Amino acid sequence: MLDFRDKVAVVTGAASGIGRAIADRCAAEGMRVVLADIEEPALLETAKSMADSGARLLPYRLDVSSAGEVEALAATVYRQFGAVHLLFNNAGVAPEGMPAWSQTLDTWRWVIDVNLYGVIHGIRSFVPRMLASGEEGHVVNTASVAGLHAGPMISPYYVSKHAVVGLSESLFLELQMASARVDASVLCPAFVRTKIAESARNRPQTGAAESGSEEFGVMVRGMVEQGVSPQSIAEQVFDAITKRQFWILTHPEFDAAIRERVNGMLERRNPQAAIPPPK
């Protein structure tokens, strides 16, 4: 896709971080933008700020873990705009740092419901409509570099992001088999200056988080604070869309770790963490 003006974009997790940067980039291209996020005050603040800059918006409070809510969003968007050309399944959360056996079932369900089922719901509700329109389109699923290597202490996050990578590859191949005018990409960033370390702010009250490793939390927050800007990620995303590029690997410094993991599998070596845990 090369011409974005007057097209329609749907962005989940749009009130902050990468989602907000992507929404801003869509608006800058002259698109009509659907801002979807579970955090309503931040959503309304984002919508006001973008509208004041002239963006054409539809803010929508959304819990991506609910298939019914995502389907209702799709129905609303198609009723109001008649089409969707760019779908960004971007909403995501991360758990507290602790070993897999200490993560509660509530935590596992929360992370997988948002990070994986949020993408599944987006695909199921929007892609059939996008295909039926016959128009050009693109789906971008936000995974993570955590979906391309292994690591300790946040296993629900790694599990969900590996699943999103696999799902996205299957989606890409299925769209190719269908000779569709809709393409797919998977976004695999590493550390970006977002609120991912503050995910608990949007956690359902029924699943209270347990206290994780403070040392691990400090390390992660420090890496996030030193990460790249969300705007730089949005630029790479749009570059990939124009090139019909599937893999969006935004942090070349992780290429060696990804390559080492693949080589390790082929050589039957035991896993090593790309980022060593604090001692």
Catalytic residues: 157
The secondary structure of the chain as a DSSP string is ----TT-EEEEETTTSHHHHHHHHHHHHTT-EEEEEES-HHHHHHHHHHHHHTT-EEEEEE--TT-HHHHHHHHHHHHHHHS--SEEEE-------S--GGGS-HHHHHHHHHHHTHHHHHHHHHHHHHHHHHT--EEEEEE--GGGTS--SS-HHHHHHHHHHHHHHHHHHHHHHHTT-SEEEEEEE--SBSSSGGGGGGGS-TTSPPPP--HHHHHHHHHHHHTSB-HHHHHHHHHHHHHHT-SEEE--GGGHHHHHHHHHHHHTTPPP--SSPPP-
CA 92 vs CA 31, 193, 229: distances in Å? 24, 14, 17
Gap between the Cα atoms of 211 and 208, Å rounded? 10
Distance CA 25, CA 221 (A): 26
How does strand 32-37 pair with strand 86-89?
A: unpaired
Residue 12 neighbours by CB distance under 10 Å: 30
Q: Are 21 and 231 in contact (CB under 8 A)?
A: yes
